[in-house]
């Protein structure tokens, strides 16, 4: 047990170091090659690997993150991306949304009318990074601090642990050529 705790502490230290490193810009680097759960507008459960989407389809990918489903700013952004889809298609670009909510919550929001704060009518896929693997690698989680508790043998996280508003443009080779990360209250202009 002592050995496991020591290994866990070392792992935590490495995670903190990785977090510090990933906070730096990812522009010019390959997008992480990791598959994430997602859902289509029809409720089909998918696994999407952003890197492979770009490379295998020879298309650019616009991946945008928002904090949570069923909030007041987020549906405006999702509808704006939907309205701009024809322009993105002209530019050989796939649009994908993402948050840490589950596929089931995404699907409920996709079936909620726009006038009730929903995103009914959105047709692009939405990632469900519930395990926060991709958002952690990207360094976009709202985490103030982490602390290991020997008493509970667990990591205690301070902060909301949801994503900031982030936007990534990935080229056809899987390289990130644009990255933007906003704090929670700051929305973004799709135009």
Cβ(66)–Cβ(76) under 8 Å? no
Respond yes or no: is residue 74 known to be catalytic.
yes
Under a CB-based contact definition with an 8 Å cutoff, are residues 60 and 89 in contact?
A: no
Collapsing DSSP to helix, strand or coil, 169 comes out as: strand
Q: Which residue out of 7, 33, 74, 100 is catalytically annotated?
A: 74
Q: Which residues pair with 176 in a beta bridge?
A: 170
Give me the half-sphere count of Cα atoms (radius 13 Å) on the Cβ side of residue 164: 18
Task: Using DSSP, state whether 69 is helix, strand or coil.
Answer: coil
Integer-rounded Cα Rg, in Å, for the chain is 18
Please give the DSSP secondary-structure letter assigned to residue 31.
P
The angle formed by the CA atoms of residues 47, 89 and 63, to the nearest 5 degrees, is 40
- Interior angle at CA 177, CA 174 and CA 182, nearest 5: 115
Cβ-based neighbours of 3, under 8 Å, separated by 6 or more: none
Which residue numbers are catalytic?
74
């Amino acid at each position: 047990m002592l050995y496991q705790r020591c290994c866990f502490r070392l792992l935590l230290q490495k995670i903190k170091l990785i977090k510090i490193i990933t906070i730096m810009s990812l522009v010019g680097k390959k997008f992480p090659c990791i598959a994430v759960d997602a859902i289509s507008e029809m409720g089909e459960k998918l696994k999407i690997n952003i890197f492979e989407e770009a490379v295998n389809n020879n298309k650019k990918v616009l991946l945008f993150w928002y904090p949570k489903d069923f909030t007041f700013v987020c549906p405006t952004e999702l509808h704006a991306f939907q309205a701009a889809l024809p322009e993105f298609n002209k530019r050989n670009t796939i649009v994908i949304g993402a948050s840490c909510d589950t596929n089931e919550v995404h699907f409920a929001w996709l079936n909620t009318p726009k006038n009730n704060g929903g995103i009914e009518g959105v047709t692009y896929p939405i990632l469900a990074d519930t395990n926060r693997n991709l958002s952690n690698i990207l360094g976009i989680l709202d985490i103030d601090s982490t602390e290991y508790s020997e008493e509970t043998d667990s990591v205690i996280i301070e902060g909301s642990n949801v994503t900031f508003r982030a936007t990534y443009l990935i080229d056809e080779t899987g390289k990130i050529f644009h990255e933007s990360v906003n704090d929670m209250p700051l929305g973004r202009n799709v135009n």
